[in-house]
Structure 1
Amino acid sequence: MKTVLILGAAGQISSFLIPQLLKQTDFNLKLYARNAQSRIKVSDPSRETLIDGDFNDAATLNAAMDGVDAVYLNEMRDITSVKNIIAAMDANHVRQLIGATVLGIEDEVKGAFGQWNTSMIESSITKRKVTAKAVENSDLTYTLLRLAWLYNKDGNTNYELTESGEPFGGTQVSRQAVAQLIIDILNDQSRKFARKSLGVNEPNTNWDKPSFY
């Protein structure tokens, strides 16, 4: 039985991912977050373990990796944290990392939307270019998710993927769809997502900006 460590388990994507993992898989979950005990409600104590910790807390991070088969990282803003996570995974022989990052880190967002996106999140793109490169330079079996602008829509799990070197496909994607993609990657046995950076958007949203702006 697979054990998945969710780093940033109190985040918004994680809030959709956790119940769907419990519903769609038999995986055990380690839920890692600052003040996890007060921020996360456990629905299945037999499968969910809460871990209070910071990404810069090496001892707690290393302990959390014990017995883990795959890691989902909900936030890739800080290079020190990302390096700590890579080191903890290496030390504990954990190979699979799925990391959520932002669109634009490969200069792949073109046209009017690309200009708007850069004007809105240029500093975020700059930081995440550095953290993405650290993951890509590691020996981990990673999948980076370059996410379109996020919103919530129950029942909408539609996603479209583009690969490195391809123009980004659309402006937005639901957090529910991202959660489903993460489950699909964790369930994949073919390794088709291994060591890839994927653009993630909702089909048919190739607009000048997201619909909610």
Structure 2
Amino acid sequence: MKILILGAAGQISKMVTGKLLQETEAELVLYARNANRRIANSDPSRITILDGDFNDSVKLLEAMKDVSIVYLNDMNSLDATQTIVDTAEKSGVTKIIGATILGIYDEVIGEFGKWNARMVGRTGTNRHKESAKIIEDSGIDYTLLRLTWLYNQDGNEKYRVSQKGEPFIGAQVARQAVARLIIDIIENPAVYSNKSLGVSEPNTDFPKPSFY
């Protein structure tokens, strides 16, 4: 299996890369701006590093050659998401896992929902909602991850998921747990086929994240 990580210099992406190298035999393509400066190639026999922009369809086509699964670490730009989807369709990519934000379906309720709306703002939420719709309407099998507020805690891989249409519960989740979920999906792509998942840590139904 060959996997492309778009936004490979991000914290979660680096965790996913490490786990894939340790736990699978997958070949990896790591794609990011200034990638050769920001990413160390720990295993040249399995890793290809490519410098590129999400809007560069030519470079993306090169990156997606023989790739089965794409992990997209940033869905902030509508144009970039559309370019990625268009290129994935041409390349025969079978699965996109996309990281986005909570609140795109007005699913965050209670005091935490009010706090989150103040912090994120309607403009940012709408942009992510439209970007998510591009993937949802693409015809490519997908799993979207609507991530709550992130923090780092080594060894904390606990996550809970909610489905689209259900209330979002949970004010925080460790990046390490998100990386574990991504690995779980990669190892069993059908488990959350064409689903948009709310991702949080169990027992964190707080009015705001504990680190705020």
TM class by shorter-chain length? over 0.9
Q: Which runs of 5+ in 1 are unaligned?
A: none
Task: State the SS of the aligned residue for 2:202.
Answer: coil
> SS at 1:56's partner residue?
coil
Q: Let me know the Cα RMSD of the aligned residues.
A: 0.8
User: Match for 2:157: what amino acid?
Assistant: T
Work out the CA distance in 2 between the residues paired with 1:10 and 1:46: 19
Letter in 2 for 1:153: Q
Aligned residues: 211
Alpha-carbon distance in structure 1 between the residues aligned to 2:14 and 2:208: 26
Q: Deviations over 1:152-183 (max 9, x none)?
A: 00000000000011111200001100000000
Give the structure-1-normalised TM-score.
0.97
Partner Cα distance (2:22, 2:63) in 1: 23
Deviations 1:62-109 (A, max 9, x none): 111101010000000000000000000000111200000000001110
The residue type equivalent to 1:25 in the other structure is: T
Cross-structure match for 1:88 = 87
Match of 1:110 in 2: 109
Residue 17 of structure 2 is matched in structure 1 by: 18
Provide the rounded CA distance (Å) in 1 between the counterparts of 2:42 and 2:116: 37
Partner of 2:170: 170
| Corresponding residue for residue 204 of structure 1 | 203
TM-score of the superposition, structure 2-length normalised? Answer: 0.98
Residue of structure 2 equivalent to 1:155: 155
Report SS of the residue matched to 1:51. strand
Deviation, structure 1 residue 192: 2.3
Q: What's the counterpart of residue 188 of structure 1?
A: 188
- What secondary structure sits across from 1:106 in the alignment? coil
Residues 1:35 and 2:27 aligned together:
no
**8 Å CA contact 1:160, 1:169 repeated in 2:** no
Q: What does 1:61-80 align with in structure 2 at a 5 Å threshold?
A: 61-80=60-79
Identity of aligned residues (%): 53
Amino acid at match of 2:134: A
Structure 2 stretches lacking a partner, 5+ long: none
Whether the 8 Å CA contact 1:161–1:169 is kept in 2: the answer is no
Q: CA deviation at 1:56?
A: 0.8
